[in-house]
Structure 1
Amino acid sequence: MRLIFAGTPEPAVVALQALIDSEHEVIAVLTRPDARKGRGRSLHPSPVAELAVEHGIETLKPSTLKAGTEDGDAIRTRLAELAPEAIPVVAYGNLVPKDLLDLPTHGWVNLHFSLLPAWRGAAPVQAAINAGDEVTGATTFRIDEGLDTGEILGGIREEIRDTDTADDLLTRLAYSGADLLVSTMDDLASGAANPQPQEGEATYAAKISTEDARIDWARDADAIDRHIRAHTPGPGAWSMLGEQRLKVGPATVVDTRLEPGEIQVSKTSVLVGTGTTAVQLGELQAPGKKRMNAADWARGLAEDINGKVLS
């Protein structure tokens, strides 16, 4: 089957490679424009674009798909010329207008990292960890005009481990989801696909802001543990020590009672109080510094922070 792959960040690379290695033909890639990165703020192609170039695949980088714009009109012309049978999508990052949805024979097929209709939206992996879900997964569905509301084409389940960060879980889902996406393309090509409407109550996972990642130490220890893991590595859970903002890595719940946010330092550990029992911090990152062990960080400070409060 002739495919145009739409995707942008690193997790989408796994799916693109799986499709390249499959019996399907990836005739082009649709991705976001080059972005400025690093200290020099030079332009860099997306991870998906880099892989496409390595394989000699045509790469399309419109800033928008909206009709009536220079990029939008040009991409319509090129998509029509390429005549894809399906457009698999993984974290593309651009809204697909209604008039483009029916252009491929089998539509635009999105790989979403949750068991829809659970956690529709931009941050399903983070939301599942934060909510304390025991199981999540990935779903392939045909994109329609709603927010992740289209008919389901396939799905897989994935257990959420007690130590999973968002990066850990997303990495596993990227690989199992890539296999699911290839399988869905196989079913569409053979006529074996059986689209099903979404059933059950929907939940939503909005895009995460930096402020959303701030730790509320008055919450219970288990909720704080999940909050930190859900926001690791990005945007990074954080808290304030005076005027200094600290990024906080995954922590361990311990059987010690302290006031919410209260710090207790020993030679080998840094504990912080919560609304229930304390948590032992693993790693911290101060502004302009690398991540380091919390106990080493505390020993390197010019002042004793025992009894001080994170907020």
Structure 2
Amino acid sequence: MRIAVAATPIVAIPTLDALLASDHQLVSVITRADAPAGRGREMQASPVAQWAKSQNLLTYKPESVSLMSELVNDLDLVITIGYGFIIPDNILQIPRHGFINLHFSLLPRWRGAAPVQRAIESGDSVTGVTVFKLDKGMDTGPIYATEQIALSPDLNSGELLSTLAELGVGPVLQSLNLIMAGTEPKVQSEVGATRAEKLSKEQAHIDWNLDAVAIQRKVNAFNPNPGAWSQFRGQNLKINKVRITDQHLARGAIEATNKSVFVGTSTLALEILEVTPAGKSTLAASAWANGARITSTDVLN
């Protein structure tokens, strides 16, 4: 089949590599326009655009999704992976077999923008990927293939996304085979449907009145972006990694030893393992505490 991939993030690259090695023709890549990035705010191409350049693939960066119609009119199929735009129904109908999407959850659970993060935050015991045919709804289209894995409580969102990106290759290739065989996708159930709303910085603020398990899930879910945070001496402090201990401390109270930093919750204390102070680089929590000279009156809030 003549295929294009509409994608932006690095998680699309395992599927792109697999398509390039397959019997299908990867005609082009459609990705987001270059955008300012980093502290210098210099214009930077998306990870997918950089990959496509390295492979000498035809690359389009339309400023508007309405411009996609002329880019897909001679294709059999378009695969979307974190493209970042909602594609109108009239464009979905243009390729011979429409559009399919690789989604990083077991639909219908966690439809929306942040399925990996919401699965971790909610403490799901399993997760996976779904390949489905795009329709005019939000991740509501009929399903071609799924793959499920156990969800470790120690994984953060970045780590889980990397795992699911690799996991998704098989279901995508399986879906292509089904499409070529003329097999119709199965209607997606509404039973168990949930929404994975986009993350906000406000939601990433840690409430130390919660229990240790809930806070650990939030830290993992919001790492690496936007990063769970608290305030220390009036400045924001990102909390990147924690573990649950058997100690008890007052809620938000900090206790620092030579090698460890602990903070109280409504249940057990958490050991803070890694932090990013405002305007500074990421470092071990023990090194941060030594520099900050933690006192018995210090708290996180």
1:188 is matched with: 179
Kept after mapping to 2: 8 A contact 1:264/1:307: no
> Secondary structure in 2 aligned to 1:136?
strand
Pair 1:62-2:65 in alignment: no
Q: Which runs of 5+ in 2 are unaligned?
A: none
Distance (whole Å) between structure 1 residues aligned to residue 159 and residue 37 of structure 2:
24
Pair 1:257-2:248 in alignment: yes
Pair 1:53-2:78 in alignment: no
**Percent of aligned pairs with the same amino acid:** 39
Change (3 A) 1:210 1:146: same
Distance (whole Å) between structure 2 residues aligned to residue 172 and residue 304 of structure 1:
37
Q: Which moved more, 1:157-166 or 1:286-295?
A: 286-295
> Secondary structure in 2 aligned to 1:197?
coil
CA RMSD in angstroms comes to 1.4
Which of 283, 286, 297 aligns to 1:307? It is 297
Distance (whole Å) between structure 2 residues aligned to residue 196 and residue 31 of structure 1:
29
Which of 104, 107, 131 aligns to 1:140? It is 131
Task: After superposition, give the CA deviation of every residue in 1:238-269 in whole Å (9 maximum; x if it has no partner).
Answer: 10012111010211111111111111111121
Change (3 A) 1:284 1:39: closer
Kept after mapping to 2: 8 A contact 1:15/1:90: no
Distance (whole Å) between structure 1 residues aligned to residue 22 and residue 190 of structure 2:
31
Distance (whole Å) between structure 1 residues aligned to residue 123 and residue 290 of structure 2:
34
Task: Name the aligned partner's letter for residue 272 of structure 1.
Answer: V
Measured after TM superposition, the shift of residue 199 of structure 1 is 4.4
Pair 1:216-2:207 in alignment: yes
Task: After superposition, give the CA deviation of every residue in 1:30-84 in whole Å (9 maximum; x if it has no partner).
Answer: 1100112234432221111111122222111112123xxxxx2xx323322xx11
Measured after TM superposition, the shift of residue 104 of structure 1 is 1.1
TM-score for both structures, normalised by structure 2: 0.96
Change (3 A) 1:78 1:172: closer
Pair 1:230-2:221 in alignment: yes
Distance (whole Å) between structure 2 residues aligned to residue 277 and residue 78 of structure 1:
55
Measured after TM superposition, the shift of residue 234 of structure 1 is 1.1
Distance (whole Å) between structure 2 residues aligned to residue 250 and residue 40 of structure 1:
27
Distance (whole Å) between structure 2 residues aligned to residue 14 and residue 45 of structure 1:
18
Equivalence map 1:21-36=2 (5 Å): 21-36=21-36
> Secondary structure in 2 aligned to 1:250?
strand
Measured after TM superposition, the shift of residue 229 of structure 1 is 0.6
1:76 is matched with: 69
Distance (whole Å) between structure 2 residues aligned to residue 123 and residue 275 of structure 1:
27
Change (3 A) 1:298 1:197: closer
Q: Which moved more, 1:230-239 or 1:192-201?
A: 192-201
Distance (whole Å) between structure 2 residues aligned to residue 208 and residue 94 of structure 1:
17
Task: Name the aligned partner's letter for residue 149 of structure 1.
Answer: T
> Secondary structure in 2 aligned to 1:132?
coil
Task: Name the aligned partner's letter for residue 15 of structure 2.
Answer: A
2:166 is matched with: 175
1:69 is matched with: none
Which of 276, 284, 295 aligns to 1:285? It is 276
Equivalence map 1:5-154=2 (5 Å): 5-66=5-66, 72=67, 75-80=68-73, 83-154=74-145
Change (3 A) 1:257 1:188: same
Instruction: Give the number of aligned pairs.
Output: 301
Q: Which moved more, 1:196-205 or 1:268-277?
A: 196-205
Task: Name the aligned partner's letter for residue 200 of structure 1.
Answer: V
Distance (whole Å) between structure 1 residues aligned to residue 138 and residue 183 of structure 2:
26
Distance (whole Å) between structure 1 residues aligned to residue 236 and residue 185 of structure 2:
50
Equivalence map 1:236-251=2 (5 Å): 236-251=227-242
Task: Name the aligned partner's letter for residue 31 of structure 1.
Answer: T
> Secondary structure in 2 aligned to 1:128?
helix
Distance (whole Å) between structure 2 residues aligned to residue 124 and residue 282 of structure 1:
26
Task: After superposition, give the CA deviation of every residue in 1:224-246 in whole Å (9 maximum; x if it has no partner).
Answer: 11110111111111100121110
2:151 is matched with: 160
Large movers: runs of 4+ above 6 Å: none
Distance (whole Å) between structure 1 residues aligned to residue 277 and residue 233 of structure 2:
12
